[in-house]
A and B are shown apart, each in its own frame.
Chain A
Amino acid sequence: MSEGRARVVAWIGREILPHEADLRAWLRRAFATAGDVDDIVQETYCRLAGLSHVDHIGEPRAYLFQAARSVALEQLRRARVVRIDTVTEIDALNVELDEPSPERIAGGRRELERVARLIAALPDRCRRIFEMRKIEGLPQREIARRMGVTENVVENESVRGLRAILAALAEGETEEVTAVRRPSTHDRTRKRR
């Protein structure tokens, strides 16, 4: 991963992921007709991934909403350009973008607590793997050795854990992160690999 890219990814983790649950709630309300919120969110992250630098973005939350809104509009009309008089919903969308939500902007200690909570909420074996990988910093191979399982098992559990964490971020954290345990909207998967 190039240095610039690494910085953008770290920025997304720090400044964008904490707002994802709000973004989804807003998209569901404002763009109920725009198709799949999950699609819009993925496209939006793709836009963010394309940024070459992020230093200039003073308000990541507003930037995120703006980007998502633009993606939603595109999906709404499929055409690249629409006449505004046909997009009546737009006016309703300016609300709440400017509201900062300071309690969600995780700085320092808060961010640590959030990470600890996300890991603690994982199912048992998953949690042990994440503790070894992310807290103790052991590589996957060493984790497999210590647990007496194959590396593939560690990989599968890690994927499972990461998905649970993504789902928790998508749903927004409640105190106990109960969200992780109940099936998320993501799990309307038809097939599993």
Chain B
Amino acid sequence: MTERESAADIEAAAARWVVRADRGDLDPAELEAWLAADTRRQGAFVRAQAAWGLLDRGRALEVEEAPRRLHVGRRGLLAGFGAAAAACVAVVVTPRLLAARYGTAVGEIRRVPLADGSLAAINTDTALEVAMKPRKREVRLDRGEAWFQVAKDAERPFVVESGPVRVRAVGTAFSVRRRDGGCEVLVTEGVVEVWSEGAGEGPRRVTAGERVFASDSAGAARPIPASLEITRELAWREGQIVLDGEAFGAAAEEFNRYNARKIVIADPALAEQKLVGWFRTNEPESFARAAAASFGARVTVRGDAILVQSVAPLAE
């Protein structure tokens, strides 16, 4: 290998690519080739592009606080379209027929725009039903996990029902995961209310950056601040699993949610080892091999099982 290119050299070259692109004097294939050689180049390039683009804000300086350009984001458009569509449809169709079912198979992740302009990201092996009613937006989560970015509509609360557990939001973003005996709720924006119909307790407010477990029978526990954890745990929306000190056993279970090929850990001591790393949800074998390598364990693949065994007793 030749000497590693310095970060400063990469940065200088990236700046030149951006300026040449701006000049219109650029061979895209040449740029592609340059980028492909090193991930640091890709990073430096996007960084230079971002800074260059940021300076375009300078256009507004010319006409001293020119009226802000109207930004109708995709969400805005969807919201507008959704509301209009709902308004048209509601006249002729009964609310019952507006219910839509969304399912995902093992390993599948879907992003679905809902009729009201909200967005649902549906994780592996999930059953979801959405009913847009005149006074309420009702989502039923029978199995699995989903994250919702809820379009604001104060007239129609957005309620996720999972067993007796209820999570209510007006305009906010959160995820709900069905587990045995209750639901895990992670809030990424705004505020939601969480309760269980089975507990006879009032709703509990959970704000952005907090997580809460709502038991079917006892209702919502005290919310716990966990903003970093939440970012990590919702990495599935990008098809990733991010581990930061989780036990190998728990991590393997997480992979097993996404794949027909299951990781089996033969040795309980092995399952307790802690891990750090980023992985694709659909690459259980490379995860198992990487983990095994760091523990000095062995991986054998038999049919649909990825078996991880200790080679020698673990130290300690």
Contacts and interface: CB of A to CB of B under 8 A. Distances in A.
A13 B52 CA distance: 8
Query: Per DSSP, are chain B's interface residues mostly helix, strand or loop, or mixed?
Result: helix
Interface in B1-46: 6-13, 15-16, 18-20, 22-25, 39-46
Contacts of B46: 8-9, 12, 45-46, 48-49
Contact of B173 (A44, A56, A80, A154): A56
B60 A112 contact: yes
Contacts of B20: 155
A41 interface: yes
A23 B189 CA distance: 23
B227 interface: yes
A176 B298 CA distance: 59
Nearest to A87: B276
Nearest to A167: B11
A42 B10 contact: yes
Nearest to A51: B238
Interface residues of A, number: 82
B92 interface: no
Given A17-B54, A186-B7, A70 B15 contact: no
Contacts of B51: 13, 17, 162, 165-166, 169
Contacts of B276: 70, 73, 81-82, 84, 87, 90
A70 B13 contact: no
Contact of A159 (B8, B16, B42): B16
Interface of B: 6-13, 15-16, 18-20, 22-25, 39-62, 65, 68, 73-75, 119, 121, 147, 149, 173, 188-189, 208-209, 225, 227-228, 231-232, 234, 237-238, 242-245, 273-278, 287, 290-291, 293-295
Interface of A: 1, 8-10, 12-14, 16-17, 36, 38-39, 41-49, 51-52, 55-59, 62-63, 66, 70, 73-74, 79-85, 87, 90, 94, 97-98, 108-109, 111-112, 115-116, 118-119, 130-131, 133-137, 139-141, 151, 154-155, 158-159, 162-163, 165-166, 169, 186-193
